[in-house]
């Protein structure tokens, strides 16, 4: 759903300094409204990295809303045209010419990209992932799911590395990609009921068939009692766990001042996965989440692990 802040525009009368500060304020508020888990982790960062991460998240949130906004009842063609327009604005901002009469995100976005030298391809990959959501969804194999997860999640983690600071070059980027896959696989399991209600299924068709299930059955709460469903969930949970394990060295590769944020975000998402593992059937009845108290405890532990 589009943020209530999403249509705010920057005043053309403001000075460049005022414009930039208002833009960063806008990104902070949007992140606070739309991303409870990410906002919690980002609060552990010191400035200016904290504000840079708000700008990065705000960008990702708004482009995701373009492709997945059901509230405004826009057609697929309208959303596709909006994505094309967004990519043109992105290109302008990446070239150092942030649009002044569009969303208030652009001054902060352009400043963040320039300051932390983020590769432009990351943002084009993200937009490509959103375009994929506008087409007839076809996740036939895990290769298809991996490509989707990479575009909508791994690129976010890789972009974050440039803000946090990291060592290891390509190997560290690969670890970050794997962590993004772990996060998105967790999201896929958490959101099975919601996605099914929209006629979407991100689990690979060949794996559903292997366990004797159809996408339509995932929208039926009675499926919880199926042995096949539990076996499918165990298989998917173990795969997600494997990506958390493969990416375990990532924390040691990023700057010490940013580690608590990554540790906290990872603990929150892995905590959701383990909560699903404890009772897989819950995903077909409600959205699995961690309590505020659990998140506070995670944050405390993350700061001590710095």
C-alpha dist (Å) from residue 147 to 61, 120, 141, 180: 19, 19, 10, 11
pLDDT at 299 over 90: no
Residue 304 CA to residue 281 CA, distance in Å, equals 34
Quick count: other Cβ atoms within 10 Å of Cβ 264?
25
pLDDT at 1 over 60: no
What's the chain's average pLDDT? 88
The predicted pLDDT at position 216 comes to 87
pLDDT at 256 over 60: yes
In this prediction the pTM is 0.87
Q: Give tens-digit pLDDT for 160-194.
A: 999 999 998 899 999 999 999 999 999 999 999 88
- pLDDT-derived band at 74, boundaries 50, 70, 90: confident
Q: Give tens-digit pLDDT for 113-168.
A: 999 999 999 999 889 888 877 876 789 999 999 999 998 899 999 999 999 999 98
**Residue 239, preceding bond cis, omega within 30 degrees?**
no
Task: Tell me the CB-side half-sphere exposure of residue 36, using CA atoms within 13 A.
Answer: 9
For every residue of 17-59, DSSP letters joined together read HHHHHHHHHHHHHHHHHH-HHHHHHHTTSPTTHHHHHHHHHHH
Six-digit token pair at 126? 């993200």
Domains for the chain: give ranges and CATH numbers: 14-118 (1.10.600.10), 136-306 (1.10.600.10)
The counts of H helices and E strands in the chain are: 15, 0
């Amino acid at each position: 759903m589009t943020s209530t802040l999403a249509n705010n525009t920057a005043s053309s009368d403001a000075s460049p300094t005022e414009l930039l500060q208002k833009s960063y304020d806008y990104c902070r508020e949007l992140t606070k409204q739309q991303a409870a888990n990410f906002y919690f982790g980002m609060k552990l960062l010191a400035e200016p990295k904290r504000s840079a991460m708000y700008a990065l998240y705000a960008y990702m949130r708004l482009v995701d809303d373009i492709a997945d906004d059901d509230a405004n009842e826009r057609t697929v063609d309208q959303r596709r045209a909006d994505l094309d327009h967004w990519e043109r604005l992105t290109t302008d901002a990446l070239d150092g010419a942030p649009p002044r009469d569009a969303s208030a995100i652009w001054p902060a976005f352009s400043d963040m990209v320039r300051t932390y030298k983020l590769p432009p391809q990351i943002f084009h990959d993200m937009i490509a992932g959103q375009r994929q959501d506008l087409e007839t969804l076809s996740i036939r194999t895990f290769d298809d799911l991996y490509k989707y997860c990479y575009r909508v999640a791994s690129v976010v983690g890789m972009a974050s590395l440039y803000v946090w600071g990291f060592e290891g070059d390509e190997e560290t980027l690969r670890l970050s990609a794997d962590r993004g896959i772990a996060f998105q696989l967790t999201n896929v399991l958490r959101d099975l009921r919601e996605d099914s209600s929209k006629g979407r299924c991100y689990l690979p068709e060949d794996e559903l068939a292997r366990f004797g299930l159809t996408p339509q059955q995932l929208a039926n709460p009675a499926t919880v009692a199926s042995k096949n469903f539990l076996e499918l969930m165990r298989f998917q949970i173990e795969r997600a766990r494997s990506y958390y394990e493969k990416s375990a060295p990532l924390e040691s590769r990023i700057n010490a001042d940013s580690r608590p944020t990554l540790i906290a975000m990872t603990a929150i998402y892995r905590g959701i996965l383990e909560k699903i593992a404890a009772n897989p059937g819950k995903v077909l009845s409600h959205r699995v989440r961690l309590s505020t108290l659990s998140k506070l405890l995670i944050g405390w532990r993350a700061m001590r692990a710095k």
